[in-house]
Amino acid sequence: MISRTFTLICAFTALALPTFAQKVIRINNNINIQFDELPPGNGKLAALNLPQSDPSGTDILRFLNGDLMHGEFAGIKKGVLWSRPDLQRNISFDFKNLRQIIFKGAKSSATEAVSPFVSLANGDVIPGEIISLDDKSLILESSIAGRLTIPREQIKSFTPNPFDGQLLYAGPFTSDHWLIIEQKEANAPDIEADAEAPENEPAEEEPEKPASWIYSGASLYSTNTRPIAIDAKLPDVGRLRFKLAWRNRLSANLAFHADFTRPLPREIIEPEEPPAEEKEAEEKKEPTEKDAPEGEEIAEEQPEEKKPPKYKPLEYESLLDLPKGDALQSLGWLPANSSGSFLQTYGSSYILSFNSSYVTLHYCTYDADGKAIQQSRRSSRITTANFSESDEAEFDLRFDRNKKAIYLYINGQYGTQWSEIDGYAGKGSAIGFAASGNSRLKISDIIVSSWSGTPDTASSLEHDERDIALLINGTDRFSGKVTAIADGKITLKSPYAEMSIPLTELSQIQLHRSGIATDEDAVWPERSGILVFHPVGRLTIQPTSADKKSITAKSPILGDLKIDLKNATLLQFAEHPEALSDWVTDF
Confidence of residue 216 (pLDDT cuts 50, 70, 90): confident
| DSSP classification of residue 279 | H
- Considering the domain architecture, whether residues 216 and 364 belong to the same structural domain is answered as yes
Are 98 and 21 found together in one domain?
Answer: yes
Residue 280 pLDDT: 65
Q: Which of 577, 555, 568 is nearest to 120 (CA)?
A: 555
pLDDT score for 19 = 30
Question: Minimal CA–CA distance to 76: which of 566, 548, 530, 526?
Answer: 548
Q: What is the pLDDT of residues 526-583, one digit of tens each?
A: 778 888 888 888 899 999 999 999 999 998 889 999 999 988 888 888 554 333 344 5
> Comparing 433 with 99, which gets the higher pLDDT?
433
When mean pLDDT is compared over 278-287, 333-342, 357-366, 421-430, the highest value belongs to 357-366
Look at residue 65 in the predicted model and tell me its pLDDT: 76
Burial of 17 (0-12, 13-18, 19+ CB in 10 A): buried
Q: CATH no. for residue 236?
A: 2.60.120.560
Residues 377 and 439 in one domain: yes
Output the pLDDT for position 369: 81
If asked whether residues 325 and 401 sit together in one domain, one would say yes
Instruction: Please indicate, yes or no, whether residues 52 and 22 belong to a single structural domain of this protein.
Output: yes
Mean per-residue pLDDT of the chain: 76
Q: Of 179, 356, 331, which Cα lies nearest the Cα of 252?
A: 356
Same domain, 229 and 175: yes
Q: What is the pLDDT of residues 228-284, one digit of tens each?
A: 999 999 999 999 999 999 988 889 999 999 999 988 887 777 665 666 666 566 666
Q: Are residues 82 and 38 in the same domain?
A: yes
User: pTM above 0.75?
Assistant: no
pLDDT score at 254:
96
Asked if residue 26 has pLDDT above 80, the reply is: no
H-type helices in 234-384, by residue range? 276-284, 342-346
Cα–Cα dist 521/512, whole Å:
17
Q: Is residue 556 part of a domain?
A: no
* Alpha helices by DSSP H, 132-180: none
- Residue 143 per-residue DSSP state: T
Task: Encode pLDDT of 395-432 as tens digits.
Answer: 999 999 888 889 998 888 888 888 876 778 888 999 99
pLDDT score of 100 more than 70 = yes
Specify the range with the lowest mean pLDDT, choosing from 149-158, 202-211, 307-316: 202-211
For residue 429, the 8-state DSSP code is: -
Please indicate, yes or no, whether residues 232 and 338 belong to a single structural domain of this protein: yes
441 plus 471 within the same structural domain: no
Task: Convert 524-584 into a string of H (helix), E (strand) and C (coil).
Answer: CCCCCEEEEECCCCEEEEEEEEECCCEEEEEECCCEEEEEECCCEEEEECCCCHHHHHHCC
Residue 190, helix vs strand vs coil: coil
- What value does the mean pLDDT take over residues 18-38? 32
Domain assignment present for 66: yes
Contacts of 530 (CB under 8 A, 6+ apart): 538, 539, 540, 541, 570, 571, 572, 575
SS3 361: strand
Measured CA to CA, the distance from residue 154 to residue 162 in angstroms comes to 20
User: Do 390 and 405 reside in the same domain of the chain?
Assistant: yes
Instruction: Report the C-alpha gap between 406 and 424 in whole angstroms.
Output: 10
Per the domain annotation, does 273 fall within a domain? Answer: no
Which range marks the domain in which residue 415 is found? Answer: 168-184+212-263+315-450
Looking at residue 168, its pLDDT comes to 84
Q: Which of 227, 189, 224, 195 lies closest to 210 in space, CA to CA?
A: 224
Weakest-pLDDT range from 6-20, 180-194, 434-448: 6-20
For residue 118, list its beta bridge partners.
Answer: 126, 158
Residue 42 covered by a domain: yes
Would you state the pLDDT for residue 146? 92
Last residue of a domain, one of 477, 497, 515: 515
Domain membership flag for residue 38: yes
Tell me the average pLDDT across 311-328: 86
Look at residue 189 and tell me if it is in a domain.
Answer: no
Residue 527 lies in a domain: no
Is the pLDDT at 469 greater than 70? The verdict is yes
213 has a pLDDT exceeding 90: yes
Residue 141 belongs to domain with CATH number: 2.30.30
- The top-scoring range by mean pLDDT among 269-273, 341-345, 382-386, 420-424 is 341-345
Of the candidates 58, 81, 106, which is a domain's last residue? 106
Backbone φ and ψ for 581, nearest 5 degrees, come out as 50, 40
Q: Does any domain span residue 142?
A: yes
CB atoms near residue 384 (< 10 Å): 14
170 vs 187: CA distance, rounded Å: 39
In the chain, the number of structural domains is 3
- Percent of the chain at pLDDT > 90 equals 23
- Helix and strand numbers, DSSP H then E, in the chain: 3, 43
**Average pLDDT value for residue range 351-365:** 88
CA separation for the pair 392, 246 (Å, rounded): 6
> Which residues is 317 bridged to in the sheet?
262
Q: Is the pLDDT of residue 47 over 50?
A: no
Q: Beginning with the edge strand found earlier in the chain, give each strand of the sheet holding 6-10 in spatial order.
A: 24-26, 6-10, 31-35
* pLDDT for residue 11 is more than 80: no
**Do 101 and 226 belong together in one domain?**
no
- Asked whether residue 345 falls in the same domain as residue 469, the answer is no
483 vs 381 pLDDT, higher one: 483
Residue 3 pLDDT greater than 70, yes or no: no
Q: For residues 180 and 374, give the distance between their C-alpha atoms in angstroms, rounded to a whole number.
A: 23
Cα–Cα distance for residue pair 480/463, rounded to 1 Å: 10
Looking at residue 418, what is its pLDDT?
Answer: 87
Strands 489-493 and 477-486: antiparallel
